[in-house]
Structure 1
Amino acid sequence: MSVTTRFAPSPTGFLHIGGARTALFSYLYAKRDNGKFLLRIEDTDRERSTQEAVDAIFEGMAWLGLNGDNAEPIYQTQRFDRYKEVIAQMLVEGTAYHCYASKEELDALRAEQMANKQKPRYDGRWRPEAGKVLPAPPAGVAPVVRFRNPTEGEVVLDDLIKGRIVFASDELDDLIIARSDGTPTYNFCVVVDDWDMGVTHVIRGDDHVNNTPRQINILRALGATPPAYAHVSMILGSDGAKLSKRHGALGVMEYRAMGFLPEALLNYLVRLGWSHGDQELFTREEMIAKFDFDHVSASPGRFDMEKAWWVNHQYLKSVDPAVVVPEFTWHLERIGVDVATGPSLTAIIEQQRERCRSLVEMAEKSKFFFADLDGYNEKDAAKHFNADSLALLGELRTQLEALPEWTTEALHAAVNGFAEAKGLGLGKIAQPIRVAVCGMAVSPPIDATLFLLGRERTLARLAAAVARA
């Protein structure tokens, strides 16, 4: 059987971290078997759904590389004719019926049941039964449509993550599938969509577990085979509390702004509930090949921001620099850097990635390669600039200006040879150089820094520093 999964967010806000993990699991499971991963926008909540949220979801999915295999996403609001067609069919077949109970009636029923310590539920007063005489429909009342849920037997859910869950049919009342204005309800739309899209595996958050038996019963009433279900546990904060912004419950694009690589964020998310031995780092290809539900935990995952940063740093240190270039460019441009005015971005990444755990940090520490210095770090200048060190910089500048070629090897030999000739440790020379050409006392190795900065900029900045004397 070819696997088809779907990710079906409601466009009422940004793509959050929990939704991204659900999308990732759905994507990986489909791709593992060369199946289809489909995208659907569940926008029937017209009051809360916005185009801005739709755009934010698409932006987040595109950044993560979790693109759907359908040419265009499916929007529920574009399928109302299809829902009405199925409801009409169910009314004819007797698997659905009109209910004229008013809100006041239902509120009174609920209050009575709660007073009697009963579970609040619809009592089937408009449900057709053999030998039951229904009252005449009240004039001027637009009815809702309810699904005629089976009253006997049970619904068995063999969840791919949580195992077997059994629901007694008589615990499920007759669900409203169309409101009095004719608009279909969420649980009904989901069923028809999954049926029409040929979804074989529904992977979603475990807050949907209680919807599942109702959806299975509707599918059976339609003569459809229910898909397999996998309900993913929620994500908690590192302290075990409900995930909040202080733990990392942010929109996916906020992680981009913080300096995460998309592949690193995906790697961290896949390990929030799934494992493959002791392996921590996975390429996308490895995730696809190894992902299964046998190793997805039914217990909530815990979001640890420090661990997420660790994963990001491992990626920055190990991935092909060419993969990092687009994101690095994005971050540099955000802080006003024209990347055309500096050296190779891959070369900068190779030099900076050991000491930077985020692309924000890398961009800030690399600005000096592209634009004129707007000053020096005051603490570093006070520590490393004095009459003696500036005089040494002047002498060194003269020697560097005379170099026949500007290579890392030549620069390494020149700076080290100068320090030895002066009887000084390399740091006594390298740190003033760093402050002079970078504006701060932290940079890649001094020979690589000067090479990437280039002859013209290096000599000009050394001259400007010497002029302070």
Structure 2
Amino acid sequence: MTSPARLRVAPSPTGDPHVGTAYMSLFNLAYARKTGGQFVLRIEDTDRARYQADSEQQVFDTLRWLDLDWDEGPDVGGPYAPYRQSERLDTYRPFVEQLLADGHAYYCWCSPERLTALREEQQRTKSPVTGYDRLCYGKTREERAALPGFSENPVVRMLVPDDVPLEFDDIIRGRVAAPRPDDQVILKADGFPTYHLAVVVDDHLMGITHVVRGEEWISSTPKHVLLYRMLGLTPPAFAHMPLLRNTDKSKISKRKNPAARLTWFREQGYLPEALRNFLQLLAYPPVEGDSELATFAEFVAGFDWAKVNTVGPIFDLKKLDWLNGAYIRTLSPSALADRIAEHYAYTGEWTPSAAELETLRAATPLIQERLTLLSEALPKLQFLFTADDDVVVEEDAAKALNEDAPRVLDAAIPALEALESFDTASVEAALRAALVDGLGIKPKFAFGPLRVALTGSRVSPPLFESMELLGRDSTLARLRRFRTSR
């Protein structure tokens, strides 16, 4: 029986959350649920230069939108609160003092200018030894002040021994080797800890048993393990997930790819369950055979770290589009209409009235099979929410009509006027009799002018159903208005 595991995700509020935050949250949460453990959300906000006040709320909103809920966190509390690093500054200082007292850390007074010059010199000479040169190690403040490049406010660096272990066990990758770290800064001049100290202290104090993160952190793991041992603590288990990659195999980044922004998916009209399913398939096989559709509960039931593929998964939006369309078709028309309305309310593009919402519910079955994204709904149905006199005919739609258009309109209008019942079946029968049989025109050319007159476009939902939704008065008003322009 596997012991209940405690896992965490710890994003930094430095902008729109990265899709990798959801990717890591998914796998952390899956293992927590698999073992009956807990999933913790911690906000690592010690990088004050890049901190953005609204970013934290975006993390909350996007993860909850994906139904990746946490058991403990800044907004829900928990036994290890606070869960923001900026509120835990007093927590880190004793650990820094312990490292200094034990000779595992030292003060460094080097100015930023000196450190920049040092890096540039190492690069220019292609020095085999890079990183900090330990100029401050073993010196008092007065001794260091007598040398160039002195800063009044020191940082604290960890002292990395020559025999530091560079290999560690990884749940996913087995035995892993990493490069030798230099004397990493663990406490900045402003009194804030760096990520490397804070993550070790917080993971220890919060009882984190498994640290699951991206493979870019492999190079940092030896110094984290070293800090655990310097402090007399037991390291957690580590698992490093493969990086998400673009189709050209480059690392997915917010600077180059809008899909790296987690909120982008909601803005575009993806369903959260489709995106969650997509993330499940990154670096992990389908839950059941070849079927790629699976719920999170099904994912959790068979979860096994041994199934993770360490080859960087390709972030293929075509696959996500396919999944989203598949999920759209699993919804009832009523539920889909609600999702469409919610999407447009979220983007601020459209807030339907009660009457418009009823029209949307009635029209949704006409477009459900053709939707890939929720954002495609309104362009397909806009004609239903446009006043008759405001319908704008697209230039290419008008040009595509042939010389039969006036004859078609002249025959269609009286045929529809004569109908007692204006339902889909009656409309279709009347128009086929008047246009296809009566004028001898092929359906493609017979119904094209009607479609353009009603919607302004060459492509629309099924014509006869659209007429029923518009109703007799609007349908005839649009046909007559268009006829006057021919």
TM-score > 0.5, shorter chain as reference = yes
1:235 is aligned to: 244
1:87 to 96, 116, 120: 96
Alignment partners' CA distance in 1, 2:302 and 2:332: 22
1:317 is aligned to: 329
Alignment partners' CA distance in 1, 2:156 and 2:344: 56
Check conservation: 1:377, 1:439, Cα contact below 8 A.
yes
1:112/1:261 Cα in 2 relative to 1: closer, same or farther (>3 Å)? closer
1:58 is aligned to: 60
2:374 is aligned to: 359
- 5 Å-filtered alignment, 1:229-308, equals 229-243=238-252, 248-276=258-286, 277-308=289-320
1:312/1:339 Cα in 2 relative to 1: closer, same or farther (>3 Å)? farther
1:460/1:98 Cα in 2 relative to 1: closer, same or farther (>3 Å)? same
Alignment partners' CA distance in 2, 1:291 and 1:116: 46
- 5 Å-filtered alignment, 1:7-156, equals 7-70=9-72, 72-73=74-75, 74-91=83-100, 94=102, 96-100=104-108, 102-103=110-111, 117-121=127-131, 137-138=141-142, 143-147=154-158, 149=160, 152=163, 154=165, 156=167
SS of 1:165's partner is strand
SS of 2:324's partner is helix
With the length of structure 1 as denominator, give the TM-score of the two structures.
0.84
Task: Return the letter of the residue paired with 1:46.
Answer: R
Task: Return the letter of the residue paired with 1:303.
Answer: F
Check conservation: 2:106, 2:159, Cα contact below 8 A.
no
Question: How far did 1:38 drift?
Answer: 1.9
1:412/1:3 Cα in 2 relative to 1: closer, same or farther (>3 Å)? farther
Question: How far did 1:51 drift?
Answer: 0.6
1:131 is aligned to: none
1:10/1:89 Cα in 2 relative to 1: closer, same or farther (>3 Å)? same
Identity, in percent, stands at 33
Question: How far did 1:274 drift?
Answer: 1.6
SS of 1:451's partner is helix
2:460 to 443, 446, 453: 443
1:407/1:27 Cα in 2 relative to 1: closer, same or farther (>3 Å)? farther
1:209 to 210, 214, 218: 218
Gap regions ≥5 residues in structure 1? 128-133
- 5 Å-filtered alignment, 1:320-399, equals 320-332=332-344, 334-336=348-350, 338-342=352-356, 343-372=358-387, 373-382=390-399, 383=401, 386-399=405-418
Alignment partners' CA distance in 1, 2:118 and 2:416: 90
Task: Return the letter of the residue paired with 1:399.
Answer: A
Alignment partners' CA distance in 2, 1:439 and 1:29: 52
SS of 2:169's partner is strand
Check conservation: 1:87, 1:96, Cα contact below 8 A.
no
Which segment is superposed worse, 259-268 or 185-194? 259-268
1:159 is aligned to: 170
SS of 1:234's partner is coil
With the length of structure 2 as denominator, give the TM-score of the two structures.
0.81
Check conservation: 1:329, 1:339, Cα contact below 8 A.
no
SS of 2:263's partner is helix
Gap regions ≥5 residues in structure 2? 76-82, 146-151
Alignment partners' CA distance in 2, 1:466 and 1:412: 20
1:109/1:260 Cα in 2 relative to 1: closer, same or farther (>3 Å)? closer
Alignment partners' CA distance in 2, 1:90 and 1:246: 40
Question: How far did 1:124 drift?
Answer: 6.7
1:18/1:145 Cα in 2 relative to 1: closer, same or farther (>3 Å)? same
Alignment partners' CA distance in 1, 2:320 and 2:475: 37
